[in-house]
Amino acid sequence: MKKNKIIQDIEKLKKEKNAIILAHSYQIPEVQEVADIVGDSLALSKAATEVDNEVIVFCGVNFMAESAKILSPNKKVLLPIKSAGCPMADMVSAKRLRQYKKNNPDTTIVCYVNSSASVKAESDICCTSSNALKVVESIDSDKILFVPDRNLGNYVKNNVKNKQVELWPGFCPTHNNISLREALKIKEEHPEAEILVHPECSEKVIELADFVGSTSQIIKYANESNSKEFLIGTEMGVLHILRKQNPNKEFDLLYHNLLCPDMKKTRLEDVLNALMYEQHEINVEEDIRQRALIALNKMLEIS
């Protein structure tokens, strides 16, 4: 089917089914263009609670669609590609976390939204990359376990005062794999460029950065900066918005392979099929949903 025809059909079905399309900024450009809202995890979670459509087509990965369902249980949440997951989210399980809690009953569990609903249900509070520091600072207890991302957790640990932050050994393969050697070489080739990175990068890469933030925070920083050239240390999907919103600025990646395979699975045809066949519906067991909701709501209250 031709691209224009797919887009027309998507628009038609969206109206018929009172649906809205949310897309993470790591999605392919065509999917971002057809979406009603493009944003980072926090913006999309908030959008899920604010829109009044009956159906949400979530172009992203499983934990994002799950968060939308936890926050909006009466809406039908669809994930166009059933297998779109997050390898980092799979690096912690509710079972292992329960075991940890049994051995460390006085530790507060802070869980990155890149985690399953059942892990959220075992956690005291959630955070995203845009509010992790604020969330940890808001906690009364000084003993914290940060799951599952050791890099984001370490970034928080280095920037928060008077807290003992223990790190779970998870990581994002896409961000963690940035080669410092290559990043240094690219930096040398672009001496005037500002370096903007996601906190899922390793500490050594973060040390090179002029700015560290979530995808939306990176976009905001680049839009407002007077610099003309930027090196981006996050998934290449963000280049689409950065270039669109800043035609007179230059953007390059800090590493050649900044690609999340799961984020790239969703094509326009999949968005159309999701609307047409109402697939793949995301559901969360009610007991888990309610406990995960407490952790998510605590985060939303302070962000």
Residue ranges that bind ligand SF4, judged by CB under 6 A:
61, 86-88, 114, 172-175, 200, 235, 260, 262-263
Question: Any known ligand binding at 215?
Answer: yes
d(CA 197, CA 82): 29
Question: Any known ligand binding at 205?
Answer: no
Residue 20 interacts, among ligand 13P, ligand SF4, none and using kind-specific CB cut-offs from 5 to 8 Å, with none
Of 73 and 87, CB closest to ligand SF4:
87
Question: Any known ligand binding at 129?
Answer: yes
* 158 half-sphere exposure, CB direction, 13 A CA radius: 13
Question: Any known ligand binding at 111?
Answer: no
233 DSSP β-pair partners? 197
- Residues in CB range of 143: below 8 A, 6 or more apart: 104, 106, 107, 108, 163, 164, 166
| Of 107, 293, 263, 121, residue with least CA distance to 200 | 263
Of 55 and 61, CB closest to ligand SF4:
61
**Helices vs. strands in the chain: H and E counts, helices first:** 15, 12
Order of strands across the sheet that contains 37-39: 37-39, 19-24, 55-59, 76-78
Residue 202 interacts, among ligand SF4, ligand 13P, none and using kind-specific CB cut-offs from 5 to 8 Å, with none
Question: Any known ligand binding at 169?
Answer: no
Residue 107 DSSP class: P
Least distance (Å) from ligand 13P to the CB of residue 37? 13
Of 79 and 88, CB closest to ligand SF4:
88
| Of 265, 252, 140, residue with least CA distance to 194 | 252
Question: Any known ligand binding at 176?
Answer: no
- Catalog residues that contact ligand 13P under the rule CB under 6 A: 40-41, 114, 128-130, 172, 198, 200, 214-215
Q: Which two tokens stand for residue 193?
A: 């460029």
Of 212 and 293, CB closest to ligand 13P:
212
Asked if residue 128 lies in contact with residue 199, where contact means CB atoms within 8 angstroms, the answer is no
Angle at 177 (CA atoms; ends 171, 181), nearest 5 degrees: 140
Q: Which two tokens stand for residue 68?
A: 């939308």
Question: Any known ligand binding at 131?
Answer: no
Asked if residue 55 lies in contact with residue 278, where contact means CB atoms within 8 angstroms, the answer is yes
User: Could you tell me the sign of the dihedral formed by the alpha carbons of 90, 95, 97, 100, in that order?
Assistant: negative
Question: Any known ligand binding at 24?
Answer: yes
Least distance (Å) from ligand SF4 to the CB of residue 210? 21
Least distance (Å) from ligand 13P to the CB of residue 105? 30
Least distance (Å) from ligand 13P to the CB of residue 200? 5
Least distance (Å) from ligand 13P to the CB of residue 40? 3
Least distance (Å) from ligand 13P to the CB of residue 3? 26
Residue 194 interacts, among ligand SF4, ligand 13P, none and using kind-specific CB cut-offs from 5 to 8 Å, with none
How many other CB atoms sit within 10 Å of the CB of residue 189? Answer: 10
d(CA 146, CA 110): 5
Of 6 and 197, CB closest to ligand 13P:
197
Residue 87 interacts, among ligand 13P, ligand SF4, none and using kind-specific CB cut-offs from 5 to 8 Å, with ligand SF4
Binding positions for iminosuccinate: 24, 41, 112-114, 129, 198-200, 215
Binding positions for [4Fe-4S] cluster: 86, 172, 260
Binding positions: 24, 41, 86, 112-114, 129, 172, 198-200, 215, 260
